[in-house]
Amino acid sequence: MTISVLGTPWAAPGEQQFSLPTSLMLKLALGEAPEHVPSIRDVTRGALAAAQYIDGGPVDRILAAFAGCFRAVRPFSAVANRWISGQAHCGYDAVEHATGMSRTLLVRVPAGVSIAALCDSLAQLVSVESVTPNYVAVVPMDAPGRLAPVPQAAPSAQDARAMVRMAEAHAIEPGDSGVVVGLIDSGIARQHPEFAHAFRAGADTVRMEPGDLSPGVQLLSGHGHRGDFPEDRFVGHGMGCAGIIAAEGVAMPRGLGGDCRILPMRALAAARLPGKPHAVGLGAIADLDRALKLAVDLGAKVINMSFGTDDSAVAAHRPKPHADTVAYASARGCILVAASGNNGSVTRYWPAAYPQVIAVGAVDDNGRPTSFSTRGEHVALCAPGEKVLTSAIDAYQLATGTSFAAPFVAGAAALLVAYAQRRAYPLDGETVRDLLVTTARPFAPGAAEGCGAGILDAAAALQALSQRIDTYVAAGDDGGTPEISKEGRADDG
């Protein structure tokens, strides 16, 4: 069972699956955002109080008519003033304005309000660019998403790494501790022996509360961390991804990202669904978006997103989740990687389906796409995603799902970034996608339509990057310091 079968009577047809009953995301048009609405960071920390009015006009009148009262905050802090108490809602730059970071408000209303009808009414205003219920994404992303303890007779842990040619890749590029991979997930276990040096401080953006979910859903860890270290005590999903990217090789293979560092962003709350013994991660779109923007602002060059919202769960007239934050991250030069989904169908999960995102499917030990891997033209390539040995909260686990294929690609991207930086070569997300896709190895014989170009080959991608840089330099485009002639003058050629 996933959250899609739970009753959510506050939502409109087509969006029963993932709506929160008490909040919505309101994006105002350029020039319409009020200056007085504070950042959620300052409200959470007690520096400012949430706003009780927005425009003193039609927006407020509609909210009052539907909800009676409401509270509004900005989910995104300005990068320039984030650390200045009481000023995190001031000083947004041009990129933050253009992508909507400065103009988006998170509005909380009393329980029982018809969120869908309220959104439809607000959408009619010329001052409103878009409005959407604060959907909830769930991981695992449909079946199977299995996390299992490591049995005594576990399969060779090297198989998955050999498939992506990790050893050969590390011989070319061991990774760089200056390359930061943002991990938007359920959090991590900081005391795990595989990560003595890998974790940066990170943050916790979860603001979900028990009343935000359907009856029968038990929230195990939601609101309350208030920006503390992003610790995961129940789910283990984030730890599974972290091990594939940056494990130090104590009792499992090293992470594919080598010496890279992980910036853990806890954006998925732990919850237990009716009739299910194991915890899952539930993430409100606002919490996930806040984590994504913050990871960018804190210097992540690569971001792994092993979560998603099925397109069928979003009403056709609603904005797609994460569009603005994906645009923001791309504008800042981040390389975005996401799991394609686990429903085995030709469909789209967001954020994987965005063109700025590298969508990753899963293959089995034989190099064939798994039956559960979500397919589609947007899928770029595949990586191992069945019974992958990786880290858990307490020890180790065998992880299955596209959630654990995506971190292989994120790790490979981190190696590409490290190699490019060593050679002073500019590298963007489009170039990384091209390198990974054009060097992917063919699938084993069998049906693979909609699964992308093939299987990740990290070593071949690095070799292709090396050749590209050599060609770039040979053409005289290295952009380096001009040579100095014997006369002491710079020789511009």
In this predicted structure, the answer to whether residue 225 has a pLDDT above a threshold of 60 is no
Residue 236's CB: how many other CB atoms inside 10 A? 25
CA–CA dist 451, 315 (Å, integer): 26
Three-class SS of the chain: CCHHHCCCCCCCCCCCCCCCCCEEEEEECCCCCCCCCCEHHHHHCCCCCCECCCCCCHHHHHHHHHHCCCEEEECCCCCCCCCCCCCCCCCCCHHHHHCCCCCEEEEECCCCCCHHHHHHHHCCCCCEEEEEECCEEEECCCCCCCEEECCCCCCCCHHHHHHCCHHHHHHHCCCCCCCEEEEEECCECCCCHHHCCCECCCEECCCCCHHHCCCCCEEEECCCCCCCCCECCCCCHHHHHHHHHHCCCCCCCCCCCCCCEEEEEECCEEEECCCCCCCEEEEEHHHHHHHHHHHHHCCCCEEEECCCEEHHHCCCCCCCCCHHHHHHHHHCCCEEEEECCCCCCECCEECCCCCCEEEEEEECCCCCECCCCCECCCEEEEEECCCEEEECCCCEEEECCHHHCHHHHHHHHHHHHHHHHHCCCCCCHHHHHHHHHHCCECCCCCCCCCCCCCECCHHHHHHHHHHHHHHHHHCCCCCCCCEECCCCCEECC
Q: Indicate if 403 belongs to the active site.
A: yes
Q: Which of 89, 170, 192, 237 is catalytic?
A: 237
- The tokens of 293 are what? 């923007």
Q: Which of 42, 176, 185, 204 is catalytic?
A: 185
Q: Which of 23, 373, 403, 457 is catalytic?
A: 403
Residue-level pLDDT at 426: 92
Q: Indicate if 185 belongs to the active site.
A: yes
Model confidence over 84-98: pLDDT tens digits?
A: 999 999 999 999 999
Amino acid at 141: M
Q: What percent of the chain has pLDDT over 70?
A: 88
CA–CA dist 167, 160 (Å, integer): 11
Model confidence over 156-179: pLDDT tens digits?
A: 556 899 999 999 999 999 999 999
Q: Indicate if 36 belongs to the active site.
A: no
In this predicted structure, the answer to whether residue 149 has a pLDDT above a threshold of 80 is no
What topology does CATH give the domain 139-472? Rossmann fold (3.40.50)
Residue 12's CB: how many other CB atoms inside 10 A? 18
CA–CA dist 297, 290 (Å, integer): 11
Look up the pTM and report it.
0.92
**Nearest C-alpha neighbor of 335 from the set 305, 306, 310, 363:** 305
Model confidence over 251-276: pLDDT tens digits?
A: 999 999 999 999 999 999 999 888 88
In this predicted structure, the answer to whether residue 117 has a pLDDT above a threshold of 70 is yes
Q: Which of 52-61, 212-221, 473-482 has the highest mean pLDDT?
A: 52-61
Q: Where are the domains of the chain?
A: 21-133, 139-472
